[in-house]
């Protein structure tokens, strides 16, 4: 792995674990096994490195969610696949956790990839719900935008509940509860 | 307000805004208008102060949720009141945000009031859902524990989505979506 790559991966991990507020350039260099000079050769500083790392983490999350939501099967199958996907529940969401980071939220550049990811996710979920309603597969009373937000929120809030309990159980309950929204008509 | 009280309130605000990782004893003293000597007279240090502040914030949140969930009305009315309660959406949840704070989660003493609050909330919501199902008011297919977790997660995840967008709108969509779970039978 190139030094640039190691610096990026170390920053992605540290942002996930400690957030921007809790991440020092020293810790990045230590995790990446790179010197200060080499870090500043590849990136202008902590901000520049964090921006590249957040963009990359958000891209990966988007690709993973899209694989579920644009895969085969009915609307309920695809939303079910998204909700049930295996996750590192106790680590929390690497993108969602950044919304609790005051220095990310206060910085429009760092916040943009976070905002764009969740905006995309809600839009995509909403399209799949609308498809299911049109196909007569899902309850016609479901508002696609509201249902999409509730599904995305169940996952993000599931992480919050699981980290509080230090157990994946509340996450699994939240996901099963949210599946109730897309119960196919009997 | 006594100095002790000012120190506690300042710590509650700083924990909400910046988390434990991002809060320095200096900032607490500045916000409270208290000197270092006076802070260490009342509290053993940042940890002791944070523990008292987290306990108090969790107690207030529990009282507010219980007022909705144990108030008058049907099960759906009470869960609706909980979901629709006015919140400072863009600030996020003062307790939920602590689950993204590595130093809170790694410390069993600081995590305990956070864990206890969400455990209580899921149990209480689950009791109200079970009541509604027994009364024939809510869909008998609803699992109380799953539905309770999905409702609590919709609120916590709603904050995440709203902070990402810097707009209360995704929170409101998530709450309306979650209300779909407790649609009363027609």
The number of C-beta contacts closer than 8 angstroms across A and B is 208
What totals of helices (H) and strands (E) does chain B contain, helices first?
9, 0
Residues B131, B93 contacting (CB under 8 angstroms): no
Residue B129 has a pLDDT of 97
Residue A94 has a pLDDT of 97
Task: Say yes or no for a CB contact (<8 Å) between B170 and A157.
Answer: no
Task: Say yes or no for a CB contact (<8 Å) between B153 and A154.
Answer: yes
Closest residue of chain B to A167, computed from CA coordinates? B115
Among the partner-chain residues A22, A92, A170, the one whose CB lies closest to the CB of B149 is A170
Domains of chain A (ranges plus CATH)? Answer: 55-182 (1.10.357.10)
Does B8 have pLDDT greater than 90?
Answer: yes
Residue B183 has a pLDDT of 82
What confidence category does residue B1 fall into, taking pLDDT thresholds of 50, 70 and 90?
confident
B164 φ, ψ to 5°? Answer: -60, -45
Q: Answer left, alpha or beta for residue B136, where phi above 0 means left and psi between -120 and 50 means alpha.
A: left
Question: Which residues in chain B are closer than 8 Å to A102, comparing Cβ atoms?
Answer: 17-19, 22
Weakest mean pLDDT among A148-152, A175-179, B125-129, B181-185? B181-185
Structure tokens at B44: 């053993």
Does A93 have pLDDT greater than 80?
Answer: yes
Query: What does the mean pLDDT of chain A come to?
Result: 96
What's the ipTM? 0.96
Task: Say yes or no for a CB contact (<8 Å) between B161 and A152.
Answer: yes
Does A59 have pLDDT greater than 90?
Answer: yes
CA distance A47 to A1: 22
Residue A183 has a pLDDT of 82
Run of H or E residues at B179 = helix B169-179
Structure tokens at B136: 């024939």
What are the C-alpha distances in Å from B51 to residues B1, B16, B25, B167? Answer: 20, 13, 14, 31
Fill in the DSSP letter of residue B26. H
The per-residue pLDDT for range B37-70, each reduced to its tens digit, is 999 999 999 999 999 999 999 999 999 999 999 9
Overall average pLDDT of the B144-155 stretch: 98
Weakest mean pLDDT among A105-109, A149-153, B20-24? B20-24
Task: Say yes or no for a CB contact (<8 Å) between A153 and B148.
Answer: no
Query: What does the mean pLDDT of chain B come to?
Result: 96
Task: Say yes or no for a CB contact (<8 Å) between B164 and A122.
Answer: no
Does B185 have pLDDT greater than 70?
Answer: no
Residues B179, B83 contacting (CB under 8 angstroms): yes
What confidence category does residue A89 fall into, taking pLDDT thresholds of 50, 70 and 90?
very high
Question: Which residues in chain A are closer than 8 Å to B148, comparing Cβ atoms?
Answer: 173, 177
Structure tokens at A52: 């590249």
């Amino acid at each position: 792995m190139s030094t640039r790559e190691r610096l990026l991966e170390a920053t992605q991990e540290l942002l996930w674990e400690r957030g921007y507020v809790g991440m020092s350039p020293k810790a990045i260099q230590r995790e990446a096994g790179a010197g200060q000079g080499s870090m500043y050769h590849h990136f202008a500083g902590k901000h520049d490195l964090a921006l590249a790392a957040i963009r990359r983490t958000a891209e990966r999350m988007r690709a993973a969610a899209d694989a579920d939501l644009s895969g085969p099967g009915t609307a309920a199958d695809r939303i079910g696949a998204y909700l049930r996907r295996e996750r590192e529940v106790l680590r929390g969401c690497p993108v969602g956790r950044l919304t609790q980071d005051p220095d990310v939220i206060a910085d429009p550049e760092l916040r943009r990839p976070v905002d764009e990811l969740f905006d995309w996710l809600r839009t995509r979920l909403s399209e799949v719900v609308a498809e299911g309603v049109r196909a007569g597969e899902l309850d016609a009373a479901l508002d696609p935008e509201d249902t999409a937000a509730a599904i995305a929120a169940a996952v993000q809030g599931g992480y919050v509940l699981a980290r509080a309990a230090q157990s994946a159980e509340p996450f699994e309950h939240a996901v099963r509860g949210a599946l109730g929204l897309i119960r196919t008509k009997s």
